[in-house]
Chains A and B, each alone.
Chain A
Amino acid sequence: MFNFICRRVIHAIPVILIIATVTFFLIRLAPGDPLSDEKAVPPEIRVNLEAHYGFDNPLWLQYLHYMGNLFQGDLGPSFKYIGWTVNELIGQSFLVSLELGLLALIIAVLLGTISGTIAAVNKNSSLDYLPMSIAMAGICMPTFVMGPLLVLFFGLYLGWFNPLGWEQWSDRVLPAFTLGIYYAAYIARLTRSGMLEILSSDYIRTARAKGLPEWRVVLVHGIKTGLLPVVAFLGPASAGLISGSFVVETIFQVPGLGRFFVMAAFNRDYTMVLGTVLFYATLIILLNLIVDIIQVIINPRLKYE
C-alpha cells in the first residue's frame, strides 16, 4: 500500500513538471500580455512595470525563476488583481468551488445510487423505465442548458431561489443541482447495470436461500460489490465536476476558481493561468489516486499495480 502510493506520487512529479513547462511557454505564445490594458500605460511606466515583473529578462531566465519559486510552493503575484498572490486567490476561490463541487457530488451519488438500485430491483417495470428515462434526459441536457432552464423555472417563474449569486444558503441549491444532475444520471445507469449483474450472482442466491429478507440481500450484500463501477467512475466524475464548474460558475455568478480561470485566461494573467492549471492537474491526479485506493479497499480482488 505504502509502496503503491509512493510510486504513484513519484510518477506524478514529472507529469506536473511537464504541464508547468508546456503551459508556461504556451501562454507566452498568446498575443497580448497582462500589462496591456484598455487604458494605455505610458511607455516609461511600462518599462518599470516590466522590470518589476522580470519581463525584461530573457524567457528562459523567467522560466527558471518561475520553476524555482514553484518548488517552494510560490505561484507568484497576480497581474490583474494587484496586491494579491496567486496562492491567495486560488485558496480563496477554491473553497467556493469545493463547496459547490461537494454538494453536486453528494446530490449525484445519492440520487444516482438510490434511483439506480430501485431500477435494478424492479427490473423491467415502470419503476425501472421511469428513472432510467429521466436519467437519459439528464445525460442529454448539458449544464449550460439545465442551468438557464432551472433559473427560468425556479428562479424567475416560481421565485423560490435567487436566479444568481452566492450569498445565502438557498443560493447553493440551483448551481449544485445544475452541476450534479448529469452525474446523478450517469451514476444511476452505472448502478443499475452493476446491481443487475451482482443480483444474479451465486452468493446473492445463497443469501436469499438462507432466508435473509430482500432488503438485507440488496442493501448489505448486493450494494457493496454492485457499486464498484460507481466508485471507479468517481475519479473521472470529479474531474468532470471541475470542468463543469466553469459553466455553472459563469451562469450563476459564483466567485469560484472556474470563473477566475476563464477570466485569467482572457486577461493573459500569466501567473494566475499557470497556477490554476497546475492546481487543477495536481488535484485531479490526487483524486484519481484516492479513488484507486478506495477501490482496492472495498474490492481486495484488485491488486495495486
Chain B
Amino acid sequence: MFELIGVAPQALFGQLLLGLINGAFYALLSLGLAVIFGLMNVINFTHGAQYMMGAFASWMLLQYLGIPYWGALVLAPILVGATGIVIERLFISRLYHLDHLYGLLLTFGLALIIEGLFRQQYGSSGLPYTNPIPGGTNLGFMFLPYYRAWVIVFSLVVCFGTWFMIEKTKLGSYLRAATERPDLVQAFGINVPRMITLTYGFGVGLAALAGVLAAPIYSVNPVMGANLIIVVFAVVVIGGMGSILGSIVTGFGLGIVEGLTKVFYPEASNTVIFIIMAIVLMLRPQGLFGTPR
C-alpha cells in the first residue's frame, strides 16, 4: 500500500468521496439558485428549507404511505416543486416590480416559517432513513458504498440534463431569451409569467431532489438546510451565476476541496469555502464563471 504525504489512502479517498457527495449537493442547489435567479432576479433563501422538505417528503412517503426510495425520488421533487409553485404565485410574484432585496427578505421569512413548522412537528433531532442500496465494493485502495456511487452518478446526470435542457433545447432557448428580455419574449406570444412560475417550481424541485438523495446519507433533520444554504451562497458567489456549467463545476470542485481540507487541515474544513470566497472576491469579483458588468 502506498502512503500519500503521511495520510492513509483509505482516509484520503474516503474524504474525497464525501467531498464529491457534498459537491453534488452544492452543484444541485446552486444550479437551482442560478436558474431561479437568472429568470426572476430573486435569490431564493427558501432553497435550504426546500432541500430539507425534499428529505422530509421522502421520509413521509415511506413512513405514512409505504412508498420506497425510488418512488420518492420521483414524487418528492414533484410535491415540493408544487409547493414552490404555490409560494411563487401567492407571494414572490407580488415583488417583481420591487428591489431584489425584498425577494431575499421574503424568502428568508418563508424559510423561517417552514423550518419552524418542521421543528415544531418533528423536533431538531434527526430521523433515520434506511439506505436503499446497502453494501459496497472494495476497489483496492478504498471501500466504495454503492449508494454513494449512485448519488454521484445520478446527480451528474441530473446536472448535465439540466444543462442540456437550458442550453440545447427549444424550451431552454425561450428560457434564456426571457432572462435577457422578458418583455420581447412576451410580445412573441410566450406566456412569460407562467414560464417564471414553472421555472421556480423546477428550481425548487432540484433542491428537493438533493434532499431526497441526502436523506439516506445524513439523517432527516429540520435544520439540515439552514447551514447548507449559507455555504451554497458562498459557492454561488465563487462561481458567479452567469453560467450553468460554471455552477456544476464550482459545486463539485469546492466539495472536493472541502474534502481534502478535512484530511490535511481539519480545523479549516468548515471555513475553507468562505476563505476561497474572500480570495476570489479580491481577485475576480464577478466570480470564476461570471461576466463582469
Is this pair of chains taken from one and the same complex?
no
Binding site for B on A (CB under 8 A): none
Binding site for A on B (CB under 8 A): none
